Structure formats: C-alpha cells, structure tokens
Amino acid sequence: MFVMQSSQPKKNKVNLSDYNYQKDIKNRLWISSLSPIDIEVLREVVYGSIKTKATQIADLIDRSEAEIRPTLSKLKEYGLVSCSGNNIEVSKDVRKDLVREIEKYEEDFHPGIPYLRKLLGKVPMHILPSWYSVPRMADNIVTSIIEKSLETPKAYREYLSELDIKDPVPTAIAEEVFASDDFMVRAHVICERYELSREQLEEYVLLLEFNLVCCISPIFIENEWVDVITPFSEWREYLRYIRDTTPIGLEGSKAENIKRRHPSNFGFIEDLEWILNQLRDAPASKVQLQTASDNSPCVELSHALNKLLKLEFISESDSLFHCTSEAKQWMSLGAFEKSMDLYRNPLNELQCKGLPQQIVSDRNHRLVERALLRIIPTGWVTFDAFMESIMEPIGSSEPSKLERIRAGEWRYSIPQLSDFDRELVRRIIFDRLYEIGITTTGTIDGKDCFSAWRFVLHSTMKSSA
C-alpha cells in the first residue's frame, strides 16, 4: 500500500521553514489541548460576530454562562477574545488563523482534497513551485500540484513510490498508518511508540501533509475528541473499498461442495497430452478415442480435439486424426513449458464470438491477469465476488480517477464494467486461462467459481510484459 524510496526517488523539496509553520503548530497544539465544551465555545466564537456576549454564546450551545467562563478565560489567554463583563470582542487576526483548524471539528469534516487545497494555500505561492516541481506560470499552482500527484490511483502510487523523505520517522509513521487495519492510527499511539512529544509529532505530520501522504484530524469517540492520523480521505476510502471488496475464499465445508470442471489443476493440458499419446504410434478416429477415453483420465475429449486441430498439433484425414511435427515438439517440453508455449502460441487466440472486437485485446487480457493477483492468496472464489473486486479498466470501462461528485466532495471513481466486459473476463478466466493451467474452474451451488495459480500467472505476466 505504501512504499517509499524507489530506485529513482523524487525529492520533494518541502521545507517547513520556508513559511511560518510554527504558527500552525502552535494553533494545532493549543486546540488539541481543549476539552469538548471548549471546542463548542470556540466554534461559536470563531464563526460568530466580532462583538458578542457571553450569555448569547451560552444560549447557542445550551450551556450556562458559568459553564463557559473557564473556556472564555482560555480564549482570552490565547489572545482570541477580550472580555468586559458580559461583552466579548474577537480578534480578527487570531480568528483568521484558527478558522482552518476549528473546521476539523465539524461533524462532516474529512481531511481530503478541499483540506489539502487550503493547506497549500497557507504557503506563499512563489514557494510552491520549488517544493513540488510545477511550472511557476501554471494557471493554478495548487490545482497543478494535486492533479500531477493525485489524479489517478496509478499516478498517486507512483508518486508515493518515488517520494524520498530523508528523516526515517515520518516515513515510519506513514508506513504504520498505511499498514493499519482501517488505515488509521491514534496520535498518542505514535507519540508513545516513537517517543515523541506532541509538538514533534505535529511537525512530522505537517511534513507528511505537505508531502500529500497523511493528515491528522480529530474524531469524536466516547464523548471526547481523539486525534488520528490517516491517509487523505479520498485515498483512504479507495483503500477501504479495495479491502472490503477483496473476495472471501471458499474454505472448509464450502470448498468440499465445489464441483471441479477437471479433477487435475492442469487438467486440460493433460487431456491434450493423453490424446497425443494415443496418436503417437498410429492415427485414430474420434470413436476410437472415445472408447479409449472411457477408462482414462481424459475429461474433455471433444473440446481437446478441437483445440489440437486449432493449434495444428493434429490433422484430420478420412475421419482419422494424425499427430503433426508441431505436436511432437510440444510433447517434448516439460509441464510448465507446455503451458507457457500455449500461452504464447498465436493460434491459441481467445474465442471472441459475440463480443465487440475492440475489447478483445492483449491489453485487456493482461488487465484480467493483473486483477487475478489480488485473489491468489484467497484460493477458490466465486466469479461474482471476483467481479466485485476488479479495479482495472477492462474493456470499455474508464480508469479510476479523482472526480468531484459535489461541492467540496471528491472521490476516486471505480471502473464500471459492461455486460460485454464481464463476458470477456469470464471467457479469459474460464476458457483461455483454464486451458493453460493458470486457473482451475468449477461450480458451487450453481455459481461459477475458480482459483488461480501464483507461479504460472506471474510467469505469464512477465512473459507478456
């Protein structure tokens, strides 16, 4: 999920000292020290009028004046307000600095794209190009930074893999966040684990925020605000979607109910081998082969014969099948080499009858293979569950990208496969990949299911790269 420092690291030149980051740290530390009632009062003060009254604030949050007086003292000490009896006057400058922080305590706040935009807006515009290597003449520098790094999952993964933060502590923090069950770690846990003061933590996280990796924000748990560190919200939701759609394997009693298409993992190849062995010494008719197959492990005689004819491993003359020299050469290979030879054989193309020709391509074949990598550790899965997990833009579907769905709300889109795309995936898994031993197929409770084999699949992807 998160890997830094590839062979060609990209050195973002984020230097916090280029702007007054100490003010941000100070504001974050102060607000994080406040109680829930303090936050209620602070919210009304920051969002309210410059001149107000203590009694009015108390009424707005359904508290007594006596209850909010300790909070008003804290706000006065911080320089946000001045008090004279019941009258309160708010400092415009201090309020302006706190607006960006207090919004984190809104019920619907998420540290996402709008938050990153405001964060980048704190830095003088002339500094940002030197931090992120974007053109100084870009129409909108902040938008250019976000689009360049976050526009698609692929672009963002590449960005993370190339990122090179020299200090190992923020890197370790980010790795822990990305490796956590829900991509969220409480701030105090990080402080304890790395023996950090809260101020040190805030500085490290601010560095991660400007490097577009992680954010810190409060969540309300058991009547208190708890600071947590997460990826920015759109990426976190994308990771959660991947996690939640990863198919659950058919194990135990369920696996026992699977009706396999062939009892052997490389069954179809074994059927081809059986037929060629029968024809090695003399030609034979289909009837003769059918009779011989009654007491043999050959399961799909007709299908295997048609495949051998297509591959030109056999020829038919006067209703008799003959071995060709190509078949003898193929039979001399080892089991794994046979599979790879079939994979690369130009005559062994996917049957695409009924499918739009433009979606039947090597690219889509490789995308299906890439999607299979996710379910290899799972074992047997249903085809329907696998289709729910596909994140690749197969066929006519559009690639995932960052999109605005409404004002202030963004998300990474998920490829939407058409019925034709779905049928293409089915044929690749249950026909082509089954025939060469990458998948083992069957049914359970009337539903198609399959498993994939890591070694063979990795080898085919390497071969087609």
Q: What is the pLDDT of residues 132-145, one digit of tens each?
A: 877 776 668 888 99
Bridge partners, residue 224, by sequence: 221
Helix (H, G, I), strand (E, B) or coil at 410: strand
Task: Render pLDDT for 275-295 as a digit per residue (tens, 0 to 9).
Answer: 999 999 899 999 999 999 887
Characterize the bridge pairing of strands 81-84 and 87-90. Answer: antiparallel
Residue 462 has pLDDT above 70, yes or no: no
- Cβ-count burial of 338 within 10 angstroms (0-12 exposed, 13-18 middle, 19+ buried)? buried
What domains are there in the chain, each with its CATH number? 1-9+123-232 (1.10.10.10), 20-109 (1.10.10.10), 246-465 (no CATH)
Sign for the CA dihedral angle at 433, 437, 439, 445 comes to positive
Task: Render pLDDT for 14-27 as a digit per residue (tens, 0 to 9).
Answer: 999 999 999 999 99
Residue 3 has pLDDT above 60, yes or no: no
What pLDDT score was predicted for residue 296? 81
The mean pLDDT of 79-98, rounded to a whole number, is 95
Average pLDDT, the chain: 91
pLDDT band at 390 (very low <50, low <70, confident <90, very high): very high
What pLDDT score was predicted for residue 453? 81
Residue 328 has pLDDT above 70, yes or no: yes
DSSP 268: H
Task: Render pLDDT for 231-263 as a digit per residue (tens, 0 to 9).
Answer: 999 999 999 999 999 998 887 767 789 999 999
Q: How far is CA 442 from the centre of its chain?
A: 29
Task: Render pLDDT for 366-386 as a digit per residue (tens, 0 to 9).
Answer: 999 999 988 888 889 999 999
Residue 464 has pLDDT above 70, yes or no: no
Whole-model pTM: value is: 0.87
The mean pLDDT of 395-424, rounded to a whole number, is 94
Residue 365 has pLDDT above 70, yes or no: yes
